[in-house]
Amino acid sequence: MEKKKKVIEVEINKEFCKACSYCVDSCPKECLVMGEELNSTGYNFPVFVNQDDCTGCGACGFLCPDIAIEVYEVL
């Protein structure tokens, strides 16, 4: 029987981001990359690019010092 794949949503609050890129570093599946766009305080913020590989480990959300990332599992 095939295990049902979890659907994960990663919400990035771009205004809170300060571009430390800890989330990009900590993602084991390289699902996040730093984007080119700037927020209102002049920082570029990460973008969630690889939705299929995401396992929902939550590492990016745990290690974000600015509480800008929230990881949800869609039920």
Q: Under the rule (CB under 8 A), what is the footprint of another protein? A: 8-9, 11, 13, 15-16, 18-22, 25-26, 34, 38, 40-44, 56-67, 69-75
Residue 10 C-beta: closest distance to another protein, Å? 9
Residue 46 C-beta: closest distance to another protein, Å? 11
Which residues neighbour 29 within 8 Å (Cβ) at sequence distance 6 or greater?
50, 53, 54, 55
The token duo for 36 is 């080119």
Residue 13 C-beta: closest distance to another protein, Å? 6
> Which of 74, 71, 70, 64 is CA-nearest to residue 18?
64
